[in-house]
């Protein structure tokens, strides 16, 4: 599928022919859902759009979870913790493309558009491309915000209904990538508002030139970038779902960086003198969500039994091959407030069968087991993992039918809650516990579809909401520890693993940093 005209492609080819253009090819594992950060739910889309094309008011220092100014130079916070006054950076230009030529710099109107499209149901763009703003909804932003006001072109005042500790870090999340209100108005007048998420315009380091779904994405450096220009002139993503294909392309220098290697291949890659591997402990969790809205999974005894039936260590050893550790909690140990006193569910099929009998299911039951069609850092081989889980469950009388489908459809139907059990994972967006414990497991995330377990527990919800409303870290930690205990008892997930993120590349690649927040960023990358 092509989203751009031959004229746009001609521009790309002309640029590619420029003398001594510095180019890099990235072997990606899948196509993005779209190029709209407001709608995106995967790190694949974050890499292709939010990190390449857009900027946010605040951003995380690459390789860390430290928040720093970006399109906002700074902010002032009122004494009651409810009013944020943001000073916007001046003279930031939106990208010039064959389909849009900006007449002004980024200003407060663009910030208001970015918030209001996701917030106001009467906004002209609210329903465009489905209007499913998962992150905005999961964070309960509609109820959090009281107002977003333009004070002047370079000042925005955001008032929230109650003080909320994670709020400022949430402004650095990809779903609040700043869009051009002027471009949105142009598309609206042309009768093609859907193009805003397909032919994107941002302020970021790279401009999208051409996209062929499941084949390739082409970018060129943004000559008007407000930071120093990217070192790369051209950036290309080649879509290769098979890890063996990605590795073969890396070895033959058809690509210079690859995503998501098979963990078993990492040692051999490191022995290749032409290659190197960057690594970092991941801010992530892989899990199997148990849909608590569907019987018999609405009974916690059944959910506990499904946990007890799985030899998790064997699964992690087989699937991650040294690149992951079994997960006990929904947050990784590198996140503050991690509960290190909780014991994981042991492998205990006898106890699992007893719990099923207590739930009136002594003869077992039938269910589905949805498995991702693509490799993710939190689950490098979902099909094989599903097969192992299927066998473990069969031993206690639970017959699971494995279901898989195209990635975008898998995500869409999972958000709609069509599944009974569902393999997925989560990579942190901020490093704050709230980003895991509230955004993926809170009641608001059931409405948005982000909570694949469809689990809305009043006790848990009360704890994580209270934690959001205090700035005292000790108090927040205490509340989060209790929330993890509720999660453990209720077992809405089978927590599988926290992975180590490996990124193989050619030796000549410089400046690449593994992002603990899950996406790949190429702004700092050079190639010698």
Worst-scoring range by mean pLDDT, 2-16, 46-60, 136-150, 436-450?
2-16
Domain-located, residue 449: yes
Worst-scoring range by mean pLDDT, 91-95, 215-219, 513-517?
513-517
pLDDT (0 to 100) of residue 6: 36
**Position with higher pLDDT, 190 vs 376:** 190
Q: How far apart are alpha carbons 454 and 412 in whole angstroms?
A: 15
pLDDT (0 to 100) of residue 238: 98
Worst-scoring range by mean pLDDT, 10-19, 272-281, 410-419, 512-521?
10-19
Give 356-398 pLDDT, tens digit per residue. 999 999 999 999 999 999 988 899 999 999 999 999 999 999 9
Domain-located, residue 257: no
Domain-located, residue 270: no
pLDDT level of residue 1 (50, 70, 90 thresholds): very low
**What integer is the mean pLDDT of 201-227?**
98
Q: Are residues 491 and 349 in the same domain?
A: yes
**Contact at 8 Å (CB) between 429 and 174?**
yes
Q: Are residues 328 and 386 in the same domain?
A: yes
Give 144-162 pLDDT, tens digit per residue. 999 999 999 999 999 999 9
Running DSSP on this structure, what letter comes out for residue 376? Answer: B
Tallying the residues shown for the chain, one arrives at: 528
**What integer is the mean pLDDT of 278-305?**
96
Q: Are residues 293 and 230 in the same domain?
A: no
Q: Is the pLDDT of residue 20 over 90?
A: no
Q: How far apart are alpha carbons 327 and 385 in whole angstroms?
A: 15
Average pLDDT, the chain: 94
Q: Are residues 347 and 496 in the same domain?
A: yes
Task: Look at residue 414 and give its three-state secondary structure.
Answer: helix
Domain-located, residue 15: yes
Domain-located, residue 249: no
As a dihedral over the C-alpha atoms of residue 105, residue 111, residue 113, residue 117, rounded to 10 degrees, the angle is 150
Q: Is the pLDDT of residue 284 over 90?
A: yes
Give 467-481 pLDDT, tens digit per residue. 998 989 999 999 999
pLDDT (0 to 100) of residue 478: 98
**What integer is the mean pLDDT of 255-264?**
94
Q: Are residues 342 and 223 in the same domain?
A: no
**How many CB atoms lie under 10 A from the CB of residue 475?**
14
pLDDT (0 to 100) of residue 329: 97
pLDDT (0 to 100) of residue 508: 98
Domain membership of residue 347 as a residue range: 284-501
Token output for 188 = 């609206």
Q: Are residues 385 and 434 in the same domain?
A: yes
Domain-located, residue 273: no
Q: Is the pLDDT of residue 201 over 60?
A: yes
**Contact at 8 Å (CB) between 82 and 162?**
yes
Angle subtended at Cα 505 by Cα 12 and Cα 508, rounded to the nearest 5 degrees: 80
Q: How many domains does the chain have?
A: 2
Domain-located, residue 54: yes
Token output for 374 = 């693509």
Q: Which residues pair with 49 in a beta bridge?
A: none
Token output for 212 = 């062929």
pLDDT (0 to 100) of residue 15: 43
Q: Are residues 231 and 314 in the same domain?
A: no
Q: Are residues 484 and 514 in the same domain?
A: no
């Amino acid at each position: 599928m092509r989203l751009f005209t031959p004229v746009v492609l001609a521009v790309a080819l002309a640029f590619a022919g420029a003398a001594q253009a510095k180019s890099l090819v990235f072997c990606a594992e899948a196509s993005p859902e779209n190029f709209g950060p407001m709608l995106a739910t995967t790190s694949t889309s974050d890499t292709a759009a939010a990190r390449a094309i857009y900027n946010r008011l605040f951003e995380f220092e690459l390789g860390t979870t430290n928040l720093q100014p970006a399109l906002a130079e700074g902010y002032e916070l009122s004494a009651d913790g409810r009013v944020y006054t943001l000073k916007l950076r001046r003279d930031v230009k939106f990208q010039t493309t064959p389909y849009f030529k900006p007449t002004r710099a980024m200003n407060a109107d663009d910030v208001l558009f970015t918030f209001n499209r996701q917030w106001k149901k009467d906004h002209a763009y609210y329903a465009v491309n489905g209007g499913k703003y998962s992150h905005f909804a999961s964070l309960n932003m509609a109820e959090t915000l009281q107002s977003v006001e333009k004070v002047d072109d370079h000042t925005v005042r955001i008032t929230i209904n109650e003080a909320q500790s994670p709020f400022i870090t949430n402004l650095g999340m990809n779903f609040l990538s700043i869009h051009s209100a002027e471009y949105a108005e142009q598309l609206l007048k042309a009768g093609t508002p859907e193009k805003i998420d397909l032919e994107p315009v941002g302020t970021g380091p790279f401009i999208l030139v051409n996209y062929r779904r499941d084949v390739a994405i082409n970018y060129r450096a943004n000559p008007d970038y407000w930071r120093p220009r990217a070192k790369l002139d051209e950036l290309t993503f080649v879509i290769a779902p098979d890890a063996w294909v990605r590795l073969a392309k890396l070895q033959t220098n058809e690509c210079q960086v690859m995503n998501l290697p098979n963990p078993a291949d990492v040692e051999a890659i490191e022995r290749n003198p032409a290659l190197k591997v960057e690594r970092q402990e991941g801010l992530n969790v892989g899990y199997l969500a148990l849909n608590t809205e569907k019987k018999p999974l609405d009974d916690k005894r059944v959910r506990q039994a499904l946990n007890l039936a799985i030899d998790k260590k064997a699964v992690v050893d087989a699937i991650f091959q040294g690149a992951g550790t079994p997960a006990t909690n929904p947050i990784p140990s590198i996140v503050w407030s991690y509960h290190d006193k909780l014991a994981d569910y042991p492998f205990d099929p006898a106890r699992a069968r007893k719990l099923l009998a207590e739930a009136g299911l002594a003869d077992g039951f039938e269910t589905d087991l949805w498995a991702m069609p693509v490799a993710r850092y939190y689950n490098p081989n979902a099909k094989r993992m599903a097969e192992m889980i299927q066998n473990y469950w069969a031993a206690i009388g639970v017959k699971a039918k494995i279901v898989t489908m195209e990635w975008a459809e898998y995500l869409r139907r999972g958000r709609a809650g069509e599944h009974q059990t569902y393999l997925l994972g989560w990579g942190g967006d901020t490093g704050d516990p709230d980003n895991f414990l509230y955004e993926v497991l809170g009641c608001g995330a059931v409405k948005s579809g982000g909570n694949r377990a469809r689990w809305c527990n009043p006790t848990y919800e009360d704890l994580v909401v209270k934690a959001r409303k205090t700035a005292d870290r000790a108090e927040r930690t205490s509340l989060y520890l209790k929330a993890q205990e509720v999660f453990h008892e209720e077992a809405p997930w089978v927590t599988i693993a926290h992975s180590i993120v490996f990124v193989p590349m050619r030796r000549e690649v410089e400046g690449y940093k593994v992002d603990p927040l899950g996406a790949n960023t190429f702004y700092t990358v050079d190639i010698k």
